[in-house]
Structure formats: C-alpha cells, structure tokens
C-alpha cells in the first residue's frame, strides 16, 4: 500500500499535470491588446498545439478586387440539409460531475458551452431514458412489473433534470434527444422463439407481449419531463440495438423495431398528441458486420405504415465508415440523418489534442455533416479525472468532451470533442442550411458552408497540413482573406 507521503506527492503531481492539460473553462472572448474587437467577420481559431485556444478575432471585408487563386466561393443556390444542432450527452455521470462544481463555476461553464450569444451555443443534447452505461446505477423507470408503476428515479430527479433546467435557462431553444439502453427487465425475453424470461440488464429482446406497455413507457417519460418544463424533441427506440454486451443493453433487430414502432410506439405518440421525432437504428455504420441487419433503417422504410412514423435514422461510428451516411441518404433521400454518439478514450489517444482535434474534425464533425447529417452529438459532456463515474460492464476507458479534476471539481481539461462541437455550434445555428461551394481545393483542407436563418453565413474549415494556407472566402458580394494556421480548425461567420 502506498504510504501517505508518497500518496500526497502523487496527488500533487497528478493535479499539476491535469491543470497543465487545459484551462479551467473554454474562453470564448479572449482579445489581445491592439487587436480589433469588432469587424465584418467573426472568427474562431483552434490549433492542435493550442497556441490558439478557440481564439476569437475579427477582420473586415476586403476593399480591393479579388485576384486570389485560393478563393472558395459560396453558392447558396445549391442547398443540402437543414441543420438541427450540435452538442453532447448529459448522462447521469456528466450531470453528477457538473453538480459537484460550485454553482458559480457551473454557471460559468454552462454559459460558455450553451449560450448562443455569449458562448459556443451547443444546441442539441442526448439523454438516457432510464440508465445508460454512464449512469450511477442500473435501473429503468419501471422496475416493478406493471406500467402503472412508471416513475422518474433519483438519477433524473436529483441530477439530470436540475442540470437540464440550468441549461435551458441559458438556451431555451435547446433540442433534447432521448434513448433507452434497455426496457424494464420484466418486459425482456431471451429470444423471440422460446420467449423465456431474461432477468438481466445485458442483452435480451423486447417481448412482443409488452409492445403496447413499452410504447406507453415512452409517452409517460416524455410527459413526465414536460411537467418539469423540459420538451423532448426526438427519441430513438433503442440505443445500439445490435449490441448485446453493453451495460445496460437490449437487442432490437430491424424487424423488431419496425413492428414495435408501427404497432405501438408510433400510434401511442400520435394518440397522446406528441410530435416527438423518432429516429431509427442509433448504432454503427457497419451494422456490427451482421449481414441481415445491413441497411437497417432502409428495410424499415420499405414498410410504408412504419416509415411514416420515422423522421430518419441515427448513427454511431464505433464500426464502419461515415460514407454509410451518404449511402443511406441516396437510398432514402426523404428521411433525415443524425449522428448521435462517438467516444474518445485510452484506446484512441483521446486526450492527445494534437492528434484527436484533426481526426475528429475530419471524421466526426465535417465528415458527418458533409454526408447529410442534420446534427452531431458526441458522448459525455463531462467526466472526471478518473474517467467516471463509471460502472463495471460500461466504458471505463472513456474521456469526456471535457474532464474535470476530482481534486477540486474546478480544473477542466478540454478535449477534442468539446472543440469540434464548438466550432460547429458557434457559427452554424439551428435552422441553417448547408450550401454549396466551388473553387479552391487542396489536400488536407476540408470545409462546409452554411446560411443561417438570419441571413448570415457560416463556414467551418479544417487545415490538416503542416503549413499555413492563406485562403479567400467570397459570398458573391463580399470577400476576405485569412491566414489559416497549420493543423487548425477555423470557424467564420458574417452577414452579406
């Protein structure tokens, strides 16, 4: 056992290292002396080295003719998807950590994260219906048999709902998605042939006998949160329906999801007068290599009655490639796509910002948006410096979008997921339309352009290369140039 002197020394070293990894919160309004504090174009810049840490700056439109060969022209006559928003998950663990902060520190962090006028403006979050693998315990909202026994539990009442109320006070237009990790155990069976009891948090299937009760379960949950002043914008019928090993989990193949939504969930929502959107699937690009589950949402859409209840499909990136989004869009162009979960952790060098900022911006942020995703949501907003609270059977190697030190619940390390969401949400507002571009392209340069509902433009750019690149942006009326740093992400917004 480590003696007390060594333990104190270790704690001091860890605290110093953790503090050195990041600031105590993202600063969205840093200005250097003699730099302009206003201008035609507002810009946020983050370099992989953090020499620029979400640095806000301003420049004016050029007064001279544009002769630059590195001009990217915006084309608002070419329109793609309308954006719903960007954000992260408020799990039980994230809510717990947030509530361990002082009220002043938490208010500051939430404002900097969610305020559309004074912060990053995160606009879409995901929460669990019952427990997730980042909850303080395993539970559902109806553990005692009988749908009449439905009730919100301690995790919602004590942790998640209070945090949601604080966030909504900052951003009342916030969209919220709900996803269950499992149905109540009494509704589960081991398989659909023998229908044997499955008294386990892990795996099992939903018993068709309880489709109606489970549809009511969703309705009761939405209504319970409505009574708290919290509106649910969207739901998925099952988180990771092909994963029978998560804590907690439940299998729901496409045939089952089709039947459940067609006969129970869809009609129950409609009968209750609820307009909450339903998104199919909510799992990996590669369908966990299950051949009979490929094109999961498209197979559901082939049933016209079932398809009418679905707004679209949701995807994770723990297997396969983002190109699957484009494939599904081409097969079902009238249905939405949304990206709902990705994680960083010890397995992918998750706290190495120099590596992860570039890769996550390319694969998750711009990669999904440029393949028709209407929104991007990453996993835990906040975990602690021990990657928790976590549970056996869940992820014990994950980092949060930010990590907070358990020594003081004040010192925050900002990870890649915080930056990639912030670079989108700070300039691309809900209701924005992704628009076309033409002109300059280069290896290592990726970008997306948008027009917001207020008429302003947004442009988000990744420079993967090791060299700076001076580009010019042209909206057809105005143009401006900017020196994009090597290995950086830059977001721009301006009015025509």
**What would the pLDDT profile of 58-94 be if each residue is shown by its tens digit?**
999 999 999 999 999 999 999 999 999 999 999 999 9
Question: Max Cα separation, the chain?
Answer: 76
Distance, CA of 488 to chain centre: 21
Confidence label for 407 from pLDDT (cuts 50, 70 and 90): very high
pLDDT at 34: 65
Helix%, strand%, coil% for the chain, nearest 5: 30, 25, 45
Over residues 183-216, the pLDDT tens digits come to 999 999 999 999 999 999 999 999 999 999 999 9
478 vs 37, residue with greater confidence: 478
Over residues 308-344, the pLDDT tens digits come to 999 999 999 999 999 999 999 999 999 999 999 999 9
Distance in angstroms (rounded) separating the CA atoms of residues 342 and 462? 19
Instruction: Report the percent of the chain where pLDDT is more than 70.
Output: 93
CA angle 434, 379, 285 (to 5 degrees): 65
9 vs 123, residue with greater confidence: 123
Q: How far is CA 232 from CA 128, 164, 493, in A?
A: 12, 11, 29
pLDDT at 217: 98
pLDDT at 156 over 60: yes
Beta strands 488-495; 456-463: pairing state: antiparallel
Strand runs labelled E in 292-369:
312-316, 336-341, 344-345
Sign of the Cα torsion 160, 316, 411, 15 reads positive
pLDDT at 12 over 80: no
**Residue range 467-473: mean pLDDT, rounded:** 96
8 A C-beta contact, residue 115 and residue 171: yes
Angle between helix axes 103-114 and 92-100 (nearest 10 degrees) is 130
Mean pLDDT of the chain: 93
Confidence label for 20 from pLDDT (cuts 50, 70 and 90): very low
pLDDT at 37: 87
How many residues would you count in the chain? 496
- DSSP structure string for 416-455: HHHHHHHHHHTT--TT-EEEEEEE---TTEEEEEEE-TTS
Confidence label for 36 from pLDDT (cuts 50, 70 and 90): confident
């Amino acid at each position: 056992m480590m003696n007390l002197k060594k333990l104190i020394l270790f704690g001091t070293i860890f605290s110093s290292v953790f503090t050195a990894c990041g600031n105590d919160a993202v600063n969205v309004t840093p200005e250097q002396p003699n730099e302009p504090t206003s201008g035609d174009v507002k810009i946020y810049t983050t370099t992989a080295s953090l020499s620029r840490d979400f640095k806000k700056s301003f420049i004016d439109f050029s007064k001279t003719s544009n002769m630059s060969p590195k001009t990217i022209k915006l084309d608002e006559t070419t329109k793609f998807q309308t954006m719903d928003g960007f954000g992260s998950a408020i799990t039980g663990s994230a809510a717990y950590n947030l509530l361990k902060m002082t009220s002043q520190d938490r208010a500051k962090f939430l404002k900097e994260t969610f305020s559309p006028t004074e912060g990053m403006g995160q606009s879409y979050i995901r929460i669990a219906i019952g427990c997730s693998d980042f909850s303080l315990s395993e539970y559902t909202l109806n553990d005692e048999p009988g749908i009449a026994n439905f009730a919100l539990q301690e995790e919602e009442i004590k942790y998640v709902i209070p945090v949601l109320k604080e966030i909504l006070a900052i951003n009342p237009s916030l969209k919220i998605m709900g996803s269950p990790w499992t149905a109540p155990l009494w509704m589960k069976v081991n398989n659909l042939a023998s229908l044997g009891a499955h008294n386990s948090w892990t795996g099992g299937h939903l018993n068709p006998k309880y489709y109606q009760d489970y549809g009511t379960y969703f309705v009761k949950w939405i209504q319970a949160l409505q009574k708290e002043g919290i509106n649910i914008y969207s739901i998925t019928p099952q988180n990771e329906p092909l994963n029978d090993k998560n804590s907690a989990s439940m299998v729901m193949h496409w045939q089952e999801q089709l039947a459940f939504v067609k006969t129970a969930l869809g009609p129950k929502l409609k009968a209750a007068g609820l307009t909450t959107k339903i998104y199919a699937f909510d799992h990996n690009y590669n369908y966990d290599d299950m051949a009979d589950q490929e094109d999961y949402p498209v197979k559901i859409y082939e049933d016209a009655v079932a398809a009418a209840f679905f707004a679209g499909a949701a995807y994770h990136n723990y297997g396969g490639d983002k190109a699957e989004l484009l494939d599904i869009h081409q097969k079902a162009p009238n249905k939405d796509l949304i990206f709902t979960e990705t994680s960083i952790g010890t397995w992918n060098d998750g706290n190495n910002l120099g590596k992860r900022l570039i890769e996550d911006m390319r694969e998750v942020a711009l990669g999904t948006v440029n393949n028709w995703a209407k929104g991007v949501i990453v996993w835990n907003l906040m975990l602690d410096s021990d990657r928790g609270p976590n549970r056996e059977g869940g992820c014990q190697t994950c980092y949060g979008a930010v990590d907070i030190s358990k020594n003081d619940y004040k010192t925050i390390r900002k990870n890649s997921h915080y930056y990639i969401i912030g670079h989108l949400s700070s300039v691309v507002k809900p209701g924005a339309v992704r628009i076309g571009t033409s002109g300059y392209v280069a290896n290592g340069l990726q970008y997306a352009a948008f027009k917001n509902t207020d008429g302003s433009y947004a442009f988000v750019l990744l420079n993967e290369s090791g060299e700076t690149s001076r580009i010019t942006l042209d909206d057809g009326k105005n143009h401006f140039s900017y020196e994009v740093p090597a290995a950086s992400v830059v977001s721009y917004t301006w009015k025509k």
